[in-house]
Amino acid sequence: MREVGARGPAISVDDDCPVREVLDRVGDKWSVLIVVLLGQRTHRFGELHRAIDGISQRMLTLTLSRLVRDGLVCRTAHPTVPPRVDYSLTDLGRTLLVPLRALDAWAVAHRDDIRAARARHDAAAG
Amino acid sequence: MREVGARGPAISVDDDCPVREVLDRVGDKWSVLIVVLLGQRTHRFGELHRAIDGISQRMLTLTLSRLVRDGLVCRTAHPTVPPRVDYSLTDLGRTLLVPLRALDAWAVAHRDDIRAARARHDAAAG
DNA sequence: CCGAATCCCAATGGATACTG
DNA sequence: CAGTATCCATTGGGATTCGG
């Protein structure tokens, strides 16, 4: 996060905030799932499509091309017929797995706390 | 992330995926900013409004109430006139700062890599 | 088999005006 | 000061169809 003074003159969120950039890339509906799957092994397009329940072909294509563009995922098209395209993590993509797993660990550790808080809140008010 | 077999029968993304839940809560446009600001110190509503450049009153209210509902943020209304409402992190919210900072560290460390990859990609194709 | 193109709907979020 | 309510533009993303 960009440095923010205690009574500083307002963060500019659009400007120059690294976390913002990461979340814009990885905070969407499918990117994390894909990165984690590719963290296990290389997958073909169709494998990913089958592995991720509920994703449309359009969103899989779109999300993959963004991840490739950002250098997190590597695309390898084999000039065969029928075509075969493999996706895997780049070195950069693999480094992202680390903080992603930290976030995951937090999620696993605290999901019950969140659910409890939510239940308490909803019971109190509505 | 829920366990995913190498050739397993498809992850159900909606079902029961902890990271999904976290990103659904914190992957929006403003939550992370607010959590980080409150990680520095307690803020009043208006302080947050001024501190976060570009946020609307509506989204600040909305995001705060979600964070309160999930037990990440604590709301304290003082019965004074004019009213004064303080927001701070709960213990749970403070634990979230840790993985958030890990993600931030990654973002800071690799934003140039991403930009370079993007530039390379855009130069090559369009 | 991979993926681009089009269409369409629902959700997100900004602007503004109003209330206790 | 701290919200709530209404309206509207933009975006995300699913379904489907077509192309290489």
Q: What are the boundaries of each domain within chain B?
A: 3-125
Cα(B72)–Cα(B27) distance, integer angstroms: 14
The number of beta carbons lying within 10 Å of the beta carbon of residue A62 is 13
The per-residue pLDDT for range B50-79, each reduced to its tens digit, is 999 999 999 999 999 999 999 999 999 999
% of chain B beyond a pLDDT of 70: 87
Rounded to 10 deg, the angle between the A31-40 and B18-26 helix axes is 150
Residue B76 CB in 7 A reach of strand D: no
Which residue numbers in chain A have pLDDT < 70? 1-15, 126
- Average pLDDT estimate for B16-23: 83
Asked if A56 CB < 7 A from strand D, the reply is: yes
- d(CA B48, CA B33) in angstroms, rounded, equals 10
**Six-digit token pair at A57?**
């072909």
Q: Which of A25, A72, A75 is nearest to A45 (CA)?
A: A75
Mean pLDDT within B90-112? 95
Query: What CA–CA distance (Å, rounded) separates A44 from A4?
Result: 43
Residue B46 pLDDT > 70, yes or no?
yes
Residue B18 has what pLDDT?
Answer: 84
What integer pLDDT is reported at residue B7 of this predicted model? 41
Q: Dihedral, CA atoms, A32, A33, A39, A44, nearest 10 degrees?
A: -130
Contacts of A25 in chain B (CB under 8 A): 114
Interface of A with B in 4-63 (CB under 8 A): 4, 6, 8, 10-15, 17-23, 25-30, 32-33, 36-37, 40-41, 50-55
Region B30-48 average pLDDT: 96
Residue B18 pairs in a beta bridge with none
| Residue B1, pLDDT score | 42
For residue A17, count other CB atoms closer than 10 A to its CB: 22
Q: CB-based contact (8 Å) between B77 and chain A?
A: no
Tokens at A85, concatenated? 């395209």
Looking at residue B11, its pLDDT comes to 55
Q: What is the pLDDT of residue A49?
A: 96
Higher pLDDT, B25 or A48: A48
What's the rounded Cα separation, in Å, for the pair B95 and B100? 9
Say yes or no to pLDDT of B4 above 80.
Answer: no
Token pair for B72? 């990440």
Residue among B14, B106, B31, B19 at smallest CA distance from B66? B31
In whole angstroms, what is the distance from residue A84 CA to residue A79 CA? Answer: 7
Distance B83 CA to C17 C1' (A): 21
- Interface-testing mutation among B32, B63, B122, with chain A (most A C-beta atoms within 10 A): B32
Q: Which of A19, A53, A68 lies at the smallest CB-CB distance from B104?
A: A19
Task: Report the CATH number of the A3-125 domain.
Answer: 1.10.10.10
Identity of residue B15: D
> Is a pLDDT exceeding 90 seen at residue B84?
yes
pLDDT at position B25 is: 87
> Which residue does chain B place closest to A37, by CA atoms?
B4
Mean residue pLDDT of chain A comes to 88
In whole angstroms, D7 C1' to B58 CA is: 13
Q: Does B100 touch chain A (CB under 8 A)?
A: yes
A69 touches chain B (CB under 8 A): yes
